[in-house]
Amino acid sequence: MKKIWNKVTAMRKWVFILLTFALVQLLAQVGIINDYLQATIATICINIILAVSLNLITGFTGQFSLGHAGFMSIGAYSCAIVLLRLPTIGGFLLGLLLGAVLASLIGFLVGLPTLRLRGDYLAIATLGMSEIIRVVFINIKITNGAAGLSGIPRFTNWFFLYLFVVSTIVLISNFLKSSHGRACISIREDEIAAEAMGINTTRYKVMSFTMGAFFAGIAGGLYAAYFYYIDPGTFDFLKSIDVLVIVVLGGLGSISGSILAAILLALISVVLQDISELQMIVYSLILIIIMIFRPQGLMGSKELSFKMFRDLGKSLAFRKESE
């Protein structure tokens, strides 16, 4: 009976995923979702990939990283350079793959020495790594230096955005349910105890760091192939802070929280667009208020599920009956 219920739940999830894709595609084709809203949706999808991958490093493995913008920039520049020379769908996919692989390779090489550090020391090291990557892009010819790259062919569309968002969530969720994922979570809970139980903490920290860098590279490639133009300033440390804000707001250790926070912050920006001079002040106040009244984040360490909505419905029905 339990296996049947699990299959039904899985089918419900995939039906919901397919219906969401079809609904947004239909609304875009009939013009209800205009170009501005499409750009907002693209930003949301890219931020979800960044936030979920950073949550793997910071929320589930407990490593305070501020270098995600650096990995994103590697993916963006790699994809952009390939597309400018090979402006085809094959070039786009090749650029995404190349950017993701290069980002994960750099993540692996940087992670080996730096992930022996902890806390603030690790944050400073990863921030320094991100800034080194940005300065390298400023000073080499192939990236056009500080002027950046423009005229990048647009191949990122709703299909690819949704495909990579769903793939990122599914792959990271499955990883966290595996023995490797449980080892990463044990490191977050108590690294000394994990070492005492025979877990190679450095190995698993580097593993999660490399995986996070891989998906950040994909997000960078999608960004470059959607917004036509990139420059090193796009990927400064403030971009890493933006992604970290989404992770903390959603809840450290909650994939659902990262998704909800990315959507919420984008919607707040859309609502506040008419008061651009006060936008950042109001935006910051909203974040402060949320964190005061919900310091553990929107979801804490919990995940959204159909069971949660069903239990909520039963609770509301019981309250009405008792009244």
User: What are the tens digits of pLDDT across the range 39-75?
Assistant: 999 999 999 999 999 999 999 998 888 889 999 999 9
Query: Of the given ranges (143-157, 256-270, 293-307), which has the lowest mean pLDDT?
Result: 293-307
**C-beta separation of 111 from 49 below 8 A:** no
Question: What's the pLDDT at 81?
Answer: 95
**C-beta separation of 43 from 227 below 8 A:** no
Query: HSE of 34 in the Cβ direction (CA atoms, 13 Å)?
Result: 1
Amino acid at 290: I
**195: buried, middle or exposed (CB in 10 Å: 19+, 13-18, 0-12)?**
middle
Query: Of the given ranges (34-48, 227-241, 308-322), which has the lowest mean pLDDT?
Result: 308-322
The model's pTM is 0.91
**C-beta separation of 151 from 249 below 8 A:** no
Q: What is the mean pLDDT of the chain?
A: 87
CA-CA distances (angstroms) from residue 311 to 180, 208, 304, 315, 318?
31, 33, 12, 6, 10
- Angle at alpha carbon of residue 58, lines to 184 and 296, rounded to 5°: 110
Question: What's the pLDDT at 13?
Answer: 80
CA-CA distances (angstroms) from residue 224 to 26, 43, 227, 228, 229?
25, 12, 6, 6, 7
pLDDT of 317 above 90: no
pLDDT band at 8 (very low <50, low <70, confident <90, very high): low
Amino acid at 296: Q
Q: What is the dihedral of CA 242, 245, 251, 254, to 10 degrees?
A: 10
pLDDT of 301 above 90: no
Which residue did the predictor score with more confidence, 68 or 119?
A: 68
User: What are the tens digits of pLDDT across the range 150-186?
Assistant: 999 999 999 999 999 999 999 999 999 999 999 999 9
pLDDT band at 97 (very low <50, low <70, confident <90, very high): very high
pLDDT band at 16 (very low <50, low <70, confident <90, very high): confident
**C-beta separation of 270 from 40 below 8 A:** yes
